[in-house]
Amino acid sequence: DMVGSVFVFPQESRSSYVQVKAKLQQPLNNFTVCLRSFTDLTRRCSLFSYATKNQSNAILLLKSRPSLYEFHIGGEFLLFRVPQSLGQSEHVCASWESSTGIARFWFNGKPWPRKGLQRGYTVGVPASILLGQNQDGSGGHFNARESFVGEISSVYMWDTGISTSGVTAAMYDNPREPPLFGWRNFPYKLVGEGYVKP
C-alpha cells in the first residue's frame, strides 16, 4: 500500500523512471488515468507514458508548461489549459472512449470541457508503462529534457470511463471502482535514481 508515500525524482535524467509492473491482458477501448504531481519545472515533462511495440505514444500524459497539459492517444494529442498553481501539487485525471473519441480531463477535481480525438482507435497490449519519462519506443529512448523532476503519487488506471465523483474519490485514494492498478496496491520497479518517500 503506497498511500501516504510519493515517488521522488530528484533530478533531470535519461535513466530514472518508475516502471509499472501491471500486466494488461486486454486492449483498451476505454480508459481513465489519474495521478498527482508536484514540480516547479517550467519545461515539458512526462508524467505517464504507455507504449506498445507499434505506438510509443499509445497513451501519454505530459505537462508542456506550468499551465498546459498534453493528452496523447495513438500519436495524436489534445491540449488542456489550466490555471498555474506554483507551490502546490496538481491532481489530474484523463479519460477516453473509443466509440465516440471523447476525451475528458479533470484538474484538481474539476471537469474541463470535453474534446475528441482518435474515434474508433484501440490502445494495444502488451504495454510498457512508465512514470517520469517519455518513451520514444517501447521501454526506452528517453530525452532528459522531457524527464520529470519532483514528486508523483496517487497513480490509478481503469479500463472504463469515470465520473467526476469517481475522480474526487481517487484524489483521496478511495477509488470506488477497482482499478487495473492503483496506489493502494501498486506494482512497480524503480529504475535509476528514484525514491519512495513519505
Look up the CATH number of the domain holding residue 135.
2.60.120.200
Q: Among 154, 147, 156, 155, which residue's Cα sits nearest to residue 194?
A: 147
Question: Model-level pTM?
Answer: 0.97
| Domain annotation covers residue 24 | yes
Enumerate residues 6+ apart whose C-beta is below 8 A from 11: 149, 193
Q: Has residue 154 been placed in a domain?
A: yes
Residue 23 included in any domain: yes
Burial class (CB in 10 A: 0-12, 13-18, 19+), 137: exposed
Q: Indicate the DSSP class of residue 179.
A: P
- Residue 198 resides in a domain: no
Assess if residue 138 is contained within a domain: yes
Residue 1 within any structural domain of the chain: no
Cell digits of residue 29:
477501448
- Domain residues for the domain of 86 are 6-192
Per-residue pLDDT of the chain (198 residues; tens, 9 = 90+): 999 999 999 999 999 999 999 999 999 999 999 999 999 999 999 999 999 999 999 999 999 999 999 999 999 999 999 999 878 999 999 999 999 999 999 999 999 999 999 999 999 999 999 999 999 877 788 999 999 999 999 999 999 999 999 999 999 999 999 999 999 999 999 999 999 999
Is 197 within the bounds of a domain?
Answer: no
Number of domains in the chain: 1
